[in-house]
Amino acid sequence: DGGITQSPKYLFRKEGQNVTLSCEQNLNHDAMYWYRQDPGQGLRLIYYSQIVNDFQKGDIAEGYSVSREKKESFPLTVTSAQKNPTAFYLCASSRGQIGYTFGSGTRLTVV
Amino acid sequence: DAKTTQPPSMDCAEGRAANLPCNHSTISGNEYVYWYRQIHSQGPQYIIHGLKNNETNEMASLIITEDRKSSTLILPHATLRDTAVYYCIVRLPPGGKLIFGQGTELSVKP
Protein backbone atom coordinates (compact mmCIF):
# COMPACT_ATOMS: atom_id res chain seq x y z
CA ASP A 1 0.00 0.00 0.00
CA GLY A 2 1.21 3.50 -0.77
CA GLY A 3 1.81 5.85 2.08
CA ILE A 4 4.12 8.14 3.94
CA THR A 5 6.36 6.85 6.71
CA GLN A 6 7.96 8.85 9.47
CA SER A 7 10.57 7.46 11.81
CA PRO A 8 11.22 7.23 14.63
CA LYS A 9 7.87 7.66 16.36
CA TYR A 10 9.54 8.95 19.53
CA LEU A 11 12.94 10.66 19.71
CA PHE A 12 14.88 12.01 22.64
CA ARG A 13 17.68 14.51 22.19
CA LYS A 14 20.18 16.02 24.54
CA GLU A 15 20.57 19.77 24.44
CA GLY A 16 23.14 20.86 21.87
CA GLN A 17 22.73 17.79 19.66
CA ASN A 18 21.54 17.71 16.08
CA VAL A 19 18.93 15.09 15.20
CA THR A 20 17.45 14.00 11.88
CA LEU A 21 13.84 12.96 11.38
CA SER A 22 13.10 10.65 8.50
CA CYS A 23 10.21 11.02 6.03
CA GLU A 24 9.71 8.61 3.12
CA GLN A 25 6.81 8.37 0.67
CA ASN A 26 5.98 5.88 -2.07
CA LEU A 27 3.01 7.80 -3.46
CA ASN A 28 4.98 9.36 -6.33
CA HIS A 29 4.05 12.77 -4.94
CA ASP A 30 6.08 15.73 -6.16
CA ALA A 31 5.75 18.01 -3.13
CA MET A 32 6.73 17.31 0.46
CA TYR A 33 6.32 19.36 3.63
CA TRP A 34 7.40 19.51 7.26
CA TYR A 35 5.18 20.91 9.99
CA ARG A 36 5.66 21.43 13.69
CA GLN A 37 2.83 21.19 16.22
CA ASP A 38 3.00 22.35 19.83
CA PRO A 39 0.46 21.21 22.45
CA GLY A 40 -2.98 22.68 21.83
CA GLN A 41 -1.81 24.51 18.73
CA GLY A 42 -2.29 24.18 14.99
CA LEU A 43 0.39 23.09 12.55
CA ARG A 44 3.13 25.51 11.52
CA LEU A 45 5.07 25.07 8.28
CA ILE A 46 8.84 24.60 8.64
CA TYR A 47 10.05 23.77 5.12
CA TYR A 48 8.56 22.53 1.88
CA SER A 49 9.83 21.15 -1.39
CA GLN A 50 7.99 21.18 -4.71
CA ILE A 51 10.60 19.23 -6.69
CA VAL A 52 13.82 17.30 -6.15
CA ASN A 53 16.86 19.39 -5.24
CA ASP A 54 14.73 22.42 -4.41
CA PHE A 55 13.10 23.56 -1.17
CA GLN A 56 11.76 26.72 0.44
CA LYS A 57 11.52 28.03 3.96
CA GLY A 58 8.16 28.05 5.67
CA ASP A 59 7.09 30.26 8.55
CA ILE A 60 9.44 28.86 11.23
CA ALA A 61 12.55 27.58 9.40
CA GLU A 62 15.15 28.95 11.84
CA GLY A 63 17.08 26.17 13.53
CA TYR A 64 16.04 23.54 10.96
CA SER A 65 17.54 22.22 7.74
CA VAL A 66 16.29 19.87 5.01
CA SER A 67 17.44 18.13 1.86
CA ARG A 68 15.57 16.69 -1.13
CA GLU A 69 18.01 14.48 -3.01
CA LYS A 70 15.35 11.93 -3.94
CA LYS A 71 11.68 12.33 -4.78
CA GLU A 72 10.75 9.81 -2.10
CA SER A 73 12.68 11.30 0.79
CA PHE A 74 12.63 14.61 2.67
CA PRO A 75 14.62 14.38 5.94
CA LEU A 76 14.46 17.17 8.50
CA THR A 77 17.42 18.01 10.73
CA VAL A 78 16.73 19.80 13.98
CA THR A 79 19.94 21.65 14.78
CA SER A 80 21.32 22.90 18.07
CA ALA A 81 20.32 26.39 16.92
CA GLN A 82 16.64 25.49 17.47
CA LYS A 83 16.10 26.76 21.01
CA ASN A 84 12.82 25.01 21.73
CA PRO A 85 12.75 21.80 19.69
CA THR A 86 10.38 19.74 21.85
CA ALA A 87 7.29 19.27 19.67
CA PHE A 88 5.32 16.92 17.44
CA TYR A 89 6.69 16.90 13.88
CA LEU A 90 4.54 15.97 10.91
CA CYS A 91 5.62 15.25 7.35
CA ALA A 92 3.22 15.43 4.40
CA SER A 93 3.24 15.00 0.65
CA SER A 94 0.96 16.08 -2.18
CA ARG A 95 0.56 16.04 -5.93
CA GLY A 96 -1.38 18.66 -7.85
CA GLN A 97 -4.76 19.38 -6.35
CA ILE A 98 -4.82 16.13 -4.44
CA GLY A 99 -5.08 16.73 -0.73
CA TYR A 100 -2.08 16.23 1.47
CA THR A 101 -1.24 12.82 2.87
CA PHE A 102 0.30 13.05 6.32
CA GLY A 103 2.60 10.70 8.15
CA SER A 104 1.91 9.56 11.69
CA GLY A 105 4.40 12.00 13.18
CA THR A 106 7.56 12.02 15.29
CA ARG A 107 7.44 13.28 18.86
CA LEU A 108 10.75 14.91 19.75
CA THR A 109 11.68 15.59 23.36
CA VAL A 110 14.78 17.40 24.58
CA VAL A 111 16.16 15.86 27.77
CA ASP B 1 -2.59 32.82 1.17
CA ALA B 2 -6.00 33.76 2.47
CA LYS B 3 -6.63 33.28 6.18
CA THR B 4 -9.56 31.43 7.71
CA THR B 5 -11.58 31.98 10.88
CA GLN B 6 -13.27 29.14 12.75
CA PRO B 7 -14.98 28.88 16.15
CA PRO B 8 -12.57 27.33 18.67
CA SER B 9 -14.99 24.63 19.81
CA MET B 10 -18.38 23.06 19.13
CA ASP B 11 -20.49 20.28 20.59
CA CYS B 12 -22.75 17.90 18.70
CA ALA B 13 -25.05 15.10 19.82
CA GLU B 14 -24.28 11.64 18.49
CA GLY B 15 -26.38 10.81 15.43
CA ARG B 16 -27.14 14.45 14.64
CA ALA B 17 -25.60 16.50 11.85
CA ALA B 18 -22.49 18.51 12.75
CA ASN B 19 -22.22 21.81 10.88
CA LEU B 20 -18.79 23.42 11.13
CA PRO B 21 -18.52 27.00 9.80
CA CYS B 22 -15.49 28.71 8.31
CA ASN B 23 -14.97 32.31 7.18
CA HIS B 24 -12.47 33.03 4.41
CA SER B 25 -13.45 36.54 3.34
CA THR B 26 -10.12 37.28 1.59
CA ILE B 27 -10.16 34.17 -0.59
CA SER B 28 -9.07 34.76 -4.18
CA GLY B 29 -10.75 33.35 -7.25
CA ASN B 30 -8.41 30.42 -7.78
CA GLU B 31 -7.98 29.32 -4.17
CA TYR B 32 -9.57 26.06 -3.08
CA VAL B 33 -11.15 25.39 0.30
CA TYR B 34 -9.83 22.26 2.03
CA TRP B 35 -11.00 20.55 5.20
CA TYR B 36 -8.87 18.27 7.35
CA ARG B 37 -9.34 16.76 10.77
CA GLN B 38 -6.86 15.66 13.39
CA ILE B 39 -7.51 13.14 16.10
CA HIS B 40 -5.24 13.59 19.08
CA SER B 41 -1.56 12.85 18.37
CA GLN B 42 -2.20 11.60 14.84
CA GLY B 43 -1.49 13.13 11.44
CA PRO B 44 -4.31 15.21 9.94
CA GLN B 45 -6.73 13.36 7.70
CA TYR B 46 -8.05 14.82 4.44
CA ILE B 47 -11.85 15.17 4.37
CA ILE B 48 -12.96 17.15 1.34
CA HIS B 49 -12.15 20.15 -0.84
CA GLY B 50 -13.94 22.45 -3.28
CA LEU B 51 -13.65 25.59 -5.39
CA LYS B 52 -17.14 26.98 -6.11
CA ASN B 53 -19.66 24.17 -6.16
CA ASN B 54 -20.92 22.19 -3.23
CA GLU B 55 -19.16 18.87 -2.85
CA THR B 56 -20.08 15.57 -1.21
CA ASN B 57 -18.13 12.41 -0.55
CA GLU B 58 -18.48 9.42 1.74
CA MET B 59 -17.26 11.39 4.73
CA ALA B 60 -18.91 14.78 4.49
CA SER B 61 -20.50 17.56 2.47
CA LEU B 62 -18.98 20.97 1.77
CA ILE B 63 -21.25 23.95 1.21
CA ILE B 64 -19.55 27.06 -0.21
CA THR B 65 -21.48 30.35 -0.33
CA GLU B 66 -22.00 32.01 -3.69
CA ASP B 67 -19.56 34.83 -2.85
CA ARG B 68 -17.07 32.18 -1.60
CA LYS B 69 -16.40 34.13 1.57
CA SER B 70 -17.52 31.31 3.83
CA SER B 71 -18.16 27.60 3.84
CA THR B 72 -19.68 24.90 6.04
CA LEU B 73 -18.52 21.35 6.53
CA ILE B 74 -21.38 18.98 7.28
CA LEU B 75 -20.95 15.60 8.93
CA PRO B 76 -24.44 14.18 8.34
CA HIS B 77 -24.61 11.68 11.22
CA ALA B 78 -21.88 12.42 13.74
CA THR B 79 -20.43 9.54 15.74
CA LEU B 80 -18.17 9.55 18.78
CA ARG B 81 -15.24 8.77 16.45
CA ASP B 82 -15.77 12.13 14.73
CA THR B 83 -14.50 13.91 17.84
CA ALA B 84 -11.42 15.76 16.55
CA VAL B 85 -10.00 19.14 15.62
CA TYR B 86 -11.27 20.26 12.22
CA TYR B 87 -9.19 22.60 10.08
CA CYS B 88 -10.49 24.76 7.25
CA ILE B 89 -7.74 25.87 4.87
CA VAL B 90 -7.54 27.78 1.61
CA ARG B 91 -4.91 26.74 -0.87
CA LEU B 92 -3.58 27.89 -4.24
CA PRO B 93 -3.49 25.25 -6.98
CA PRO B 94 -1.82 23.17 -8.22
CA GLY B 95 0.50 22.48 -5.32
CA GLY B 96 0.16 25.39 -2.95
CA LYS B 97 1.24 24.90 0.60
CA LEU B 98 -1.38 24.40 3.32
CA ILE B 99 -1.39 26.99 6.09
CA PHE B 100 -3.24 25.70 9.17
CA GLY B 101 -5.15 27.92 11.59
CA GLN B 102 -6.28 26.92 15.08
CA GLY B 103 -9.21 24.84 13.89
CA THR B 104 -12.48 23.88 15.61
CA GLU B 105 -12.45 21.26 18.32
CA LEU B 106 -15.59 19.20 17.76
CA SER B 107 -16.86 17.11 20.65
CA VAL B 108 -19.51 14.53 19.79
CA LYS B 109 -21.43 13.55 22.89
CA PRO B 110 -23.63 10.49 23.48
Q: What's phi and psi for A57, nearest 5 deg? A: -75, 145
> Which of B43, B94, B97 has its CB closest to that of A90?
B43
**Average per-residue pLDDT in chain A?**
92
Nearest to A24 by CA among A108, A92, A107: A92
* Per-residue pLDDT band at B95 (split at 50, 70, 90): low
Tell me whether residues B93 and A97 touch, CB distance under 8 A: yes
* Per-residue pLDDT band at B104 (split at 50, 70, 90): very high
Q: Which residues of B touch A (CB under 8 A)?
A: 32, 34, 36, 41-46, 49, 87, 93-95, 97-103
> Which of B49, B100, B102 has its CB closest to that of A99?
B49
For residue B60, CA distances in Å to A108, B9, B15, B56, B76 come to: 33, 19, 14, 6, 7
- CA–CA separation, B19 vs B78, rounded Å? 10
Q: What percentage of residues in chain A have a pLDDT greater than 70?
A: 96
**Can you tell me whether residue A94 is helix, strand or coil?**
strand
* Per-residue pLDDT band at B90 (split at 50, 70, 90): confident
Under 8 Å between Cβ of B90 and B64: no
Per-residue pLDDT at A1: 61
Under 8 Å between Cβ of A57 and A66: no
| B41: chain A residues, CB-CB within 8 Å | 88, 105, 107
